[in-house]
Homo-oligomer: A and B are copies of this chain.
């Protein structure tokens, strides 16, 4: 086995998420990558992705690994070769050889997600595919205070999509921050793992604080309640981006 790790950036607008959806006829990032890598390697290739991003979700730094055995191309030449076949909205930005035991999902130590809000009284035609539009002015200070309450190790069950089942809903967030660049408000979440829809629900909850509907301290009781109904709405997928995966 020759284990190769690729970093992938994609505009998720035209894809039905990362994961292969066999027999549905829907294009996914995994299928596009496996198809193009397969053409280069000359046999069927299977890629393992770090995060199963949903339909419409973007990535700056998704990571995948695959077995490049029998493919003699030097690893540093892989991005140019594969980008020549990939569509313009999926780009391999880096390639390196890794140990046999590297697994893009299981070896990941932390993941960083960004959620972007276009906070202006009029929408932006240029950010419409990469941010969620929110015309109500947001209180950045109140949202920053609320962010602090999300950091650390907690049971995040209240921020998990209803119906999802996992062994444990305890996760650790190392960084929760809100940064404004003009009309663009970015929520940054770095953690050891995320529950289904967790980032989109946390952002929806922080926005309620920013709009003055709830106060920053209420986040603590929402967390303690473990009740999805007490958290904010699930934000739409197109504002979300998998920024970075750390190993």
Contacts and interface: CB of A to CB of B under 8 A. Distances in A.
Interface in A49-106: 58, 60, 79, 83, 88-93
Interface string A126-158: 101010000000000000000000000000000
B83 A125 contact: no
Contacts of A164: none
Number of copies: 2
Contact of A125 (B10, B124, B125): B10
B122 A89 contact: no
A27 to B, nearest CB: 14
Contact of A83 (B79, B89, B122): B122
A123 interface: yes
Nearest to A126: B11
Which bracket fits the contact residues of A? 20 to 34
A186 to B, nearest CB: 14
Interface in A27-64: 58, 60
Nearest to A79: B122
B92 A9 contact: no
Nearest to A10: B125
Interface of A: 9-11, 58, 60, 79, 83, 88-93, 122-126, 128, 130
26 contacts: A9-B124, A9-B125, A9-B126, A10-B125, A11-B125, A11-B126, A11-B128, A58-B125, A58-B126, A60-B126, A79-B122, A83-B122, A83-B123, A88-B123, A88-B125, A88-B128, A89-B125, A89-B128, A90-B125, A91-B122, A91-B123, A91-B124, A91-B125, A92-B122, A93-B122, A126-B130
- Nearest 8 Cβ contacts at the A-B interface: A11-B125, A89-B125, A93-B122, A88-B128, A91-B125, A9-B125, A10-B125, A91-B123
